[in-house]
Amino acid sequence: MMAAVQLRAIRAPLPAAELDSCIKLAAIACQVPMVMLTFPSKDGDWCGAMLGMGNGEIPWKGSLSVIVDAANERVQVADASTSEPLRHCDLVAGPPYIKCFAGVPIAPAGGDVIGVLAVADTLPKALDASQLEALDLLARQIAGSIEQWTGRRELADRLAQELAEIDDLRESQRTLQTLIGNLPGVAYRCRSDLSWHLEMVSEGCLQLTGYAASDLIEGRVKMADIIHPGDLPALRRGVTRALKKRQPYQSTYRIQTPAGQTKWVWDKGCGVYSADGKVLALEGFISDISELKCAEERIWKMAYFDELTGLPNRLSMREALSAAIARSGDSHAPLALLHVEVDNFREVNETLGYREGDRLLQALADRLRERGEPMETLARIAESSFALLLPGKDASHAMQIAHNVAQTLTAPLALDDLLVHSDCSIGITLFPGHGNDPDALMRRANIARYGTKRGAEKVAIYAGSLDSENAQRLALMTDLRRAIERDELRLLFQPKLRMSSKRVSGVEALVRWEHPERGLISPSQFITFAEGAGLITRLTYWVLAAAVRESHLWHDAGRAVPIAINLSPHDIRDPQLIEQISRALQTWGGTPDWIQFELTESCIMEDLAAARQVLVQLREAGFKIFIDDFGTGYSSLSYLRKLPVDYIKIDQSFVSGLGRDKESAAIVKSIIELAHSLSIEVVAEGVESTEAMDMLSGWGCEEAQGYCISKPISGRDFQSWSRAFA
């Protein structure tokens, strides 16, 4: 084995094509735009191959590879700009401003680090376990290739030196035979004929091929018979072309042993020519690369297939779609693409656990396989998304297949003695009508699928107007993220009145968005966007901080009443919620009687166990709990027996009909009586007339809220308004 210090000085440890192949595999497997294969030297970091950035020398002081070399183990960081000492490296502190970084040392077996294989991205993220395994496999493959390559170079140099020093041809042949007889591969000399009859072959032949050297030399077995018949024609053509150009040849092909085993080998050789240019013989060296080939296949499978379901992944689907578009363009035949989304996958994960979520996806993948036709291509393209490519299908056939898929997937599945129903939505795009490239068709299929959430129909074909709507939605989501940072949000407060005393008992905090271009935007227009963009938790934190700050001002002015804050299902699942509430009160010197919390029926029933746990914690901390919009969801008080609830708020759809709708009156009166039987007080929402107020008071309703009392007003206006009820 060549010493590490010698390898560091090598400027071309492997052929350029092999280096390029390795870094492309690394980029595909790890889904990153940048790959570096570097070999340290005393002056700097020499780039053997790069992808996504310029080649050249990198000063050792500013190199990322030195970190991996020093650690002598794999190094991974999600954001290099926050990591010591990576943030000082030139490629992190300056262009291209690397964030995600993972590097693996390249070291021959039992040797020191001779190089580093690293992947990088300008976006912060962490590689998953399968991607890191692929990186390790590639590093070992490169190390093995370098070991073989340097070994062959050493051998060639040694043979050339000895041949030059030894004048006696017989002694030279004996020395050569001794050397090649102990090589791990097979050295050979053969005739330039159709059967490639061997004149000389090293003893490693038995271990590699399963045949003794004498069998091949004496003609009992021909070399052409050992080579896999599927690889022989291409091998002949490659060797013939190289000999005509008087160039060395190299090939990768399969051989077959007497035991029926197939091995992959790498063969590199050259022609022996007469003075007039005639090919006299072929000389070369064959080495076993079966393990390396197996590693390549594993990496390829990880890059193109989903590990959980065994289906092709998004990259495979994109390539299949690209090929299908090319074929359809030539034949003028249509094709359809289905984007299938499991809409309730997250709920299954959070309710039953991730193991059951994985089982659900595997079961759905099996169902899709079973119903598929030979020409269809099925792939898993995201966590809870599948894609189905349908060559030759027009809109009508695509809709029929989509409905069949929806029916197949929504049939209940048995998971741990539970019947789980999958809620799926499907978007459809068609070539050539909806796009001419894979990315456009895949994106628009998802847009079409997203549009099904606004209606009862779970299957939809893409319409051009959806792009505009989606662009507006994305723009609004981006603006909302900035609005939280730039303090464009405002709190309004709608008072609640205590019926018995006619005094203000509290207010409900209502968030409004003062968009710099669109003006005042109500919650109904942006709360859904906030949930979809993952901003609802940040929005809740903002409302919480703003409400406590306002309460502090009211206490200073002597006008303080409790402020009720609405919580969403995302907030119930937020492990930091209780800590954030405590921190906000500590900041302003507040106590639990400053704020209250409102949750809808649907929010609670989405995850009853989690909701109960959070409500118990809030009640034990001293906060009052309201159930909002009661009557619109499960319309039952039975679940309230298990929850620490202080108030229910009757939905305004029932209250608004009081005085003219006997059925609404009966419902409201019944709710009040049932709530009182559970020692729960009642707040009526949407009270707009004194007649309704009198009816509610007569039935024993404790509090009322609505335009009859006050519209939502600012904190400053509330202080002035509340003086009338002092």
Say what the pLDDT of residue 302 is.
84
Query: In 121-132, which positions are buried (b, 16+ CB within 10 angstroms) versus exposed (e)?
Result: beeeeebeeebb
Overall average pLDDT of the 31-40 stretch? 84
Are residues 498 and 635 part of one domain? yes
Q: Which of 25-34, 108-117, 283-292 has the lowest mean pLDDT?
A: 108-117
Residue at 302 is within a domain: no
d(CA 166, CA 571) in angstroms, rounded, equals 84
d(CA 238, CA 249) in angstroms, rounded, equals 7
Are residues 145 and 270 part of one domain? no
Answer whether residue 137 shows pLDDT above 80.
yes
Answer whether residue 274 shows pLDDT above 90.
no
Overall average pLDDT of the 642-667 stretch? 84
Q: Which of 183-197, 312-326, 533-547 has the lowest mean pLDDT?
A: 183-197
Q: Which of 166-180, 191-205, 254-268, 503-517 has the lowest mean pLDDT?
A: 166-180
User: Nearest CA to 145 among 326, 293, 356?
Assistant: 293
Answer whether residue 254 shows pLDDT above 60.
yes
Answer whether residue 92 shows pLDDT above 60.
yes
Which residues partner with 22 through β-bridges?
none
Q: CA 269 → CA 210, 213, 284, 445, distances in Å?
A: 21, 18, 4, 52
Residue at 401 is within a domain: yes
Residue where one domain finishes, among candidates 294, 328, 346: 294
Token duo for residue 304:
């193109």
Secondary element (H or E) of residue 71: helix 65-71
Kindly state the percentage of the chain with pLDDT values over 70. 85
Amino acid at 121: D
Say what the pLDDT of residue 473 is.
58
Q: Which of 19-28, 151-160, 345-354, 583-592 has the lowest mean pLDDT?
A: 151-160
Say what the pLDDT of residue 621 is.
93
- The pTM assigned to this predicted structure is 0.43
Are residues 54 and 96 part of one domain? yes
* Sign, CA torsion 136/140/142/146: positive
Determine the distance from the C-alpha atom of residue 15 to the mean position of all C-alpha atoms in its chain, rounded to a whole number.
Answer: 34
Say what the pLDDT of residue 475 is.
60
Look at residue 579 and give its three-state secondary structure: helix
Q: Which of 43-52, 485-494, 575-584, 661-670 has the lowest mean pLDDT?
A: 43-52
Written in H, E and C, the secondary structure of 311-370 is CECHHHHHHHHHHHHHHHHHHCCCEEEEEEEECCHHHHHHHHCHHHHHHHHHHHHHHHHH
Which residues partner with 158 through β-bridges?
none
Residue at 159 is within a domain: no
Residue at 726 is within a domain: no
β-sheet with 249-256: strand ranges across: 198-201, 186-191, 279-288, 262-273, 249-256
Token duo for residue 571:
């907030």
> How high does pLDDT run on average in the chain?
82
- Are the beta carbons of 599 and 611 closer than 8 angstroms? yes
d(CA 187, CA 2) in angstroms, rounded, equals 21
Of residues 491 and 421, which shows the higher confidence score? 491
Overall average pLDDT of the 252-270 stretch? 90
Domain count, the chain: 4
Say what the pLDDT of residue 416 is.
67
Of residues 190 and 7, which shows the higher confidence score? 190
Q: 289 falls in which pLDDT band (50, 70, 90)?
A: confident
pLDDT in tens, 526-540: 776 676 667 788 889
Answer whether residue 10 shows pLDDT above 90.
no
Residue at 396 is within a domain: yes
CATH number at residue 96: 3.30.450.40
Answer whether residue 238 shows pLDDT above 80.
yes
CATH number at residue 232: 3.30.450.20
Overall average pLDDT of the 323-339 stretch? 85
Q: Mark out the alpha helices in 353-463 (DSSP H runs).
A: 354-371, 395-410, 438-451
Residue at 404 is within a domain: yes
Say what the pLDDT of residue 451 is.
67
Residue at 469 is within a domain: no
Token duo for residue 521:
């935007």
User: Nearest CA to 327 among 399, 385, 377?
Assistant: 377
pLDDT in tens, 388-428: 999 988 888 888 999 999 888 888 887 766 778 788 899 99
Residue 548 main-chain phi, psi, to 5 deg? -65, -40
Of residues 474 and 97, which shows the higher confidence score? 97
634: Cβ–Cβ under 8 A, 6 or more apart, which residues?
601, 605
Are residues 533 and 605 part of one domain? yes
d(CA 429, CA 439) in angstroms, rounded, equals 11
Q: Mark out the alpha helices in 624-714 (DSSP H runs).
A: 652-655, 662-677, 690-698
Kindly state the percentage of the chain with pLDDT values over 90. 22
Are residues 323 and 192 part of one domain? no
Are residues 647 and 503 part of one domain? yes
Answer whether residue 60 shows pLDDT above 50.
no
Residue where one domain finishes, among candidates 152, 180, 201: 152
Do strands 519-521 and 100-106 pair parallel, antiparallel, or not at all (unpaired)?
unpaired
Secondary element (H or E) of residue 118: strand 115-121
Are residues 648 and 531 part of one domain? yes
Look at residue 266 and give its three-state secondary structure: strand
User: Nearest CA to 37 among 28, 20, 26, 50?
Assistant: 50
Q: What is the DSSP letter of 441?
A: H
**End-to-end distance of the chain based on CA atoms, in angstroms?**
92
Q: 635 falls in which pLDDT band (50, 70, 90)?
A: very low
- Are the beta carbons of 249 and 243 closer than 8 angstroms? yes
Are residues 427 and 397 part of one domain? yes
Say what the pLDDT of residue 43 is.
60
Say what the pLDDT of residue 7 is.
38
d(CA 563, CA 595) in angstroms, rounded, equals 5
Secondary element (H or E) of residue 629: strand 624-630
Residue at 470 is within a domain: no
Are residues 502 and 636 part of one domain? yes
pLDDT in tens, 433-474: 788 888 889 888 888 887 665 555 788 888 764 454 555 555
d(CA 363, CA 288) in angstroms, rounded, equals 41
Are residues 715 and 573 part of one domain? yes
Determine the distance from the C-alpha atom of residue 373 to the mean position of all C-alpha atoms in its chain, rounded to a whole number.
Answer: 28
Answer whether residue 581 shows pLDDT above 80.
yes
Residue 332: domain span: 310-462
- Are the beta carbons of 438 and 423 closer than 8 angstroms? no
Written in H, E and C, the secondary structure of 469-511 is HHHHHHHHHHHHHHHHHHCCEEEEEEEEEECCCCEEEEEEEEE
Are residues 538 and 575 part of one domain? yes
d(CA 188, CA 210) in angstroms, rounded, equals 16
Residue where one domain finishes, among candidates 98, 117, 152: 152
Are residues 379 and 338 part of one domain? yes
d(CA 120, CA 38) in angstroms, rounded, equals 13
Say what the pLDDT of residue 578 is.
92
Token duo for residue 451:
């549009």
Amino acid at 666: A
Q: Mark out the alpha helices in 558-649 (DSSP H runs).
A: 569-572, 577-588, 601-606, 608-621
